[in-house]
Amino acid sequence: MLEMEQNCTPDNEDAIETMKLGMYEAGGEEGSGFHIFNVAPNQYHRAEVLQRTGAIDITCRLEKVIHGAMSADSERYATLVVLQWFFQSSNKRRISEASIELLFEADSGDGNDVEVERISFDGTYSLMPTTQQESLTMGGDAGIGINQLASFSLSGKWEKVISRQTSDAITLSGGKRVVNNRPPNRIAKWILSENKSQPAGIPASLKVAVLISRLEEKKFTCRLGLSCKTDIRTAAESFFKKIPKDDPIVFQPDFHDKGTRPNKKVAYGDETLGSIDLNELGDVTFKPVITNGENTLQ
């Protein structure tokens, strides 16, 4: 489902437009590669997860998948999923907030078998904090009268200056959610927001990890929801329309069924995944920098 909420007037280049790209319908510019289809019903672990092209490009790739077990004595199987997101903008274009949702479901339609055990960046994290000095001036006039025979007035303005220091930062919030108020958790969600005091957009890349548990070694899927707040100029240049939804990512834990065009970044085995620190697999980068970009011809 595609919704747009205008928060400011178009005359302000710094205004914000909300653009929600749901799991069922999406929109994009004419001729853009805006949705991703599986090449075949048995294309598993699709590497290209999502593409949103236009004034701002948003892409997501499936970086790593490991099928294993939760622990040596656990009856539940496990799958580790790592996704790499890129948010690319230019000039004054920017994304002020991006919300990502991953919904995991059993292929049979009974989602109770699949559960989001843990995610990277669970909670609220700060990046690149800044401080500002703010001053507030308060003032007024005073008058004095002395009897009826002789009057004397004193008029002056008093001022009081209150200073305070405030801080702000880019924030990343993650959490697990249930579907239709029914446990277990099957949604992994992250919200990435810019520094509101010094708005310069969200980081250019975000890598997240999810640990999924299952009762059986059967196929399961992941559907993705994306919501973005952009500057109003960027939103105004997009021509939205109803188009087919992105195909879900299909995960196949069966080593013997690799399907069509298998992803090379998929591993199978008895590896125990329950003790892995997911935050070590995650990463947030505001802007990549080339530190040695000068070549000398010999």
User: Mean pLDDT throughout 182-204?
Assistant: 91
Chain segment 208-220, per-residue pLDDT in tens: 999 999 998 999 9
Tokens 């559907």 found at: 223
Amino acid occupying residue 32: S
Please give the pLDDT value at position 149: 46
What is the DSSP secondary structure assignment for residue 265, as one 8-state letter?
Answer: T
Chain segment 259-282, per-residue pLDDT in tens: 989 999 999 988 899 999 999 999
pLDDT at 235 over 90: no
CB contact at 8 A, 163 and 133:
yes
Residue ranges with strand state E in 29-155: 48-52, 57-69, 77-88, 95-106, 115-119, 123-142
Q: Is residue 153 part of a domain?
A: no
Is the pTM of the predicted complex or chain greater than 0.95? Answer: no
Which domain, by its residues, includes 81? 2-129+170-285
Please give the pLDDT value at position 287: 83
Q: Is residue 152 part of a domain?
A: no
Higher pLDDT, residue 1 or 18: 18
Q: Is residue 47 part of a domain?
A: yes
Please give the pLDDT value at position 2: 32
Give me the chain's average pLDDT, please: 79
pLDDT band at 188 (very low <50, low <70, confident <90, very high): very high
pLDDT at 23 over 70: no
Higher pLDDT, residue 237 or 194: 194
Please give the pLDDT value at position 165: 67
pLDDT band at 85 (very low <50, low <70, confident <90, very high): very high
Q: Is residue 238 part of a domain?
A: yes
Number of domains in the chain: 1
Higher pLDDT, residue 101 or 235: 101
Please give the pLDDT value at position 141: 57
Structure token digits, residue 168: 């702000």
Structure token digits, residue 10: 């178009």
Q: Is residue 139 part of a domain?
A: no
The span from the CA of 278 to the CA of 267, in Å, is: 17
The span from the CA of 51 to the CA of 29, in Å, is: 12
Structure token digits, residue 35: 């949705």
Chain segment 24-74, per-residue pLDDT in tens: 333 333 334 457 888 888 999 999 998 887 778 889 999 999 999 999 888
**Which residues are 97's β-sheet partners?**
193, 229
Structure token digits, residue 224: 């993705």
Structure token digits, residue 287: 């802007």
Q: Is residue 143 part of a domain?
A: no
User: Mean pLDDT throughout 197-223?
Assistant: 92
What is the torsion angle, in degrees rounded to the nearest 10, for the CA atoms of residue 121, residue 58, residue 185 and residue 271?
A: -70
| Number of CB atoms found within 10 A of residue 144's CB | 10
Q: Is residue 267 part of a domain?
A: yes
The span from the CA of 14 to the CA of 57, in Å, is: 19
Q: Is residue 146 part of a domain?
A: no
Amino acid occupying residue 16: I
pLDDT band at 189 (very low <50, low <70, confident <90, very high): very high
First to last CA, the chain: 57
Chain segment 114-170, per-residue pLDDT in tens: 999 999 999 999 888 787 766 777 666 555 554 544 555 555 566 777 777 667 889
pLDDT band at 110 (very low <50, low <70, confident <90, very high): low
pLDDT band at 239 (very low <50, low <70, confident <90, very high): very low
Please give the pLDDT value at position 225: 87
The span from the CA of 253 to the CA of 261, in Å, is: 15
> In this predicted structure, which of 88-97, 237-246, 267-276 has the lowest mean pLDDT?
237-246
DSSP string, 23-51: SS-B---TT-------SSTT--S-SEEEE
Collapsing DSSP states into helix, strand and coil, what is residue 236? helix
